Amino acid sequence: MEPLTVQLLSEDEMKLIHDGALRLLESVGMNILSPEALDILAQAGAIVDFSRQRVRFPASLIEKALQTAPKEVKLYGRDIHQYIHLKKGQVYYSTSGYATQLYDPQTRSRREISQADLAWITQIADALDQVDIYALLATPCDAPTTTNDRYQLAIALINTTRHIWNTAYGKEGVQDAVEMLSVVRSSREALRQYPLLTLDLTTLSPLQLDDRQASTMVEGARQMLPIGISPGPIGGATAPVTLAGVIVQANAEFLGALTLCQLVQPGVPVIYTQWTRVMDMASGGVCMGGPEFSLLRIATAEMAQFYNLPSRGGGLIADGKAPDEQMGVEKYSNCLMASLSGLNIIAGVGQTDFINTVRIDQMFIDNEIIGFVKRMRRGVLVTPESLALEVIERVGPAGNYLAEDHTVANFRKELWFPRLWERKPWSVWEANGAKDIAERAAERLATFKSKTPPLDPIIEKNLWEIVHAADRRHVENKS
């Protein structure tokens, strides 16, 4: 049985987008604000204007980079026997973020996220059975801004067993990350064989890579870390307002960054990622919950499949603030469309308010939405057994299937079983307090106990020593 799918772009349309991106990269190019990256590209045959920091890419350079980029990628958790395999047909789900605010249903208030908060919500994410990858949910306000990436990574390594998706701040940030990851993995060789971290990096739209992102890509590629490159142009603001224009510009930005990574280290895993979105022309804000966001996620998956590359994008993102009808429609629509398109990693668990705020109750609700969507994606299995003709013949008119062996053998694998959805009769629901889904999710939170196995205390101590050494270096550099 083939999974249920959707199709947005034709093969000809994807070719037009590809050709358009090549044209932009060759005629307009990208501003790349890293002297080292400019040297690498110039030596490889790109046309570099060093005074303007502008790079124009010959199409042959892009095509070569696409040939060396891996078509499949395995990403590992703390246990090397637990991994996800990014390839066509596989769909996984993830948190996402760098939010700065946390809504706590127990206090019914929003606050800046602290390191303690981040550890807590990381443990919650680790316990959600539908979440496959832990992408950093938030940026803690009580960590130094210059080394926040190290704090995020240390907190993740201690509080989740999942594969981690996090940024790094420049060359030193990557080197510190590799040292921390190697402490957990026991060696750099083991880390290369079983990657525990994917670097989450972005382009700066339109058509630019700043120094930190470019230098992080260069060092990440040298260290052979998987790299997720995430263009995020905003239609009507930092990209054309037409969705096709948003897609072609994001595609050009991705291909330029991919080429840089492959020139540094041919064969380094790069995940085709897009956070393309549009501007709400009424408010001037960014819209990430509307139908355009869902359509752009399908396009992300299809362009990645066009290049035969693994993919990632937002799919559980909402503009809404509360677990209400708006939130439900936005989350479900984005998740369903991304899943049916075959996007390999669908991110956003717990994220609300344009990814500015993590809602802990919404994390449990999103876990439920993923289960619902997974069942939708499986579709309907039609076989001689599933047609159940012999069972229908045996039961006959006015019969009952409840006690049939066929029912007992198949109901658990055929039917979806919710944990938060309300399916009891009205009278029972009313007698239980007539609670809405947010209240039921808050009750789950109130009884939550972490299931994350602790790290060895010596390993944890070594991680924090690396973080604090980075703090000292930055203080010394300032003085």
CA distances for 166 relative to 319, 339, 402, angstroms = 23, 23, 49
Where the chain has pLDDT below 50, the residues are: none
* pLDDT score recorded for residue 339: 97
Q: Which two tokens stand for residue 393?
A: 């013949």
Give the C-alpha separation, 467 to 154, whole Å: 8
Residue 360 backbone phi and psi in degrees, to 5: -70, -40
Amino acid symbol at 350: G
416-467 tens-digit pLDDT = 999 999 999 999 999 999 999 999 999 999 999 999 999 999 999 999 999 9
Q: Where are the domains of the chain?
A: 65-378
Give the C-alpha separation, 132 to 122, whole Å: 13
Q: Between the CA atoms of 462, 464, 467 and 468, what dihedral angle is there, to the nearest 10 degrees?
A: -110
At the topology level, CATH places domain 65-378 in TIM Barrel (3.20.20)
* pLDDT score recorded for residue 479: 63
* pLDDT score recorded for residue 476: 78
The residue whose two tokens read 């980075």 is 470
* pLDDT score recorded for residue 477: 77
243-267 tens-digit pLDDT = 999 999 999 999 999 999 999 999 9
Q: For residue 433, what are the contacts with CB-CB under 8 A and spacing of at least 6? A: 439
Give the C-alpha separation, 364 to 422, whole Å: 14
- What is the Rg, in whole angstroms, of the alpha carbon atoms belonging to the chain? 24
Q: Which two tokens stand for residue 60?
A: 């042959």
Give the C-alpha separation, 16 to 10, whole Å: 10
- CB-based burial, 189-216: b 16+ in 10 Å, e otherwise: ebbeebbbbbbbbbbbbbbbbeebbbbb
Give the C-alpha separation, 442 to 437, whole Å: 9
What is the DSSP pairing of strand 234-235 with strand 270-274?
Answer: unpaired
**Residue 417: helix, strand or coil by DSSP?**
coil
Q: For residue 389, what are the contacts with CB-CB under 8 A and spacing of at least 6? A: none
- With 0-12 CB in 10 A as exposed, 13-18 as middle and 19+ as buried, what is 427? exposed
**Residue 321: helix, strand or coil by DSSP?**
coil
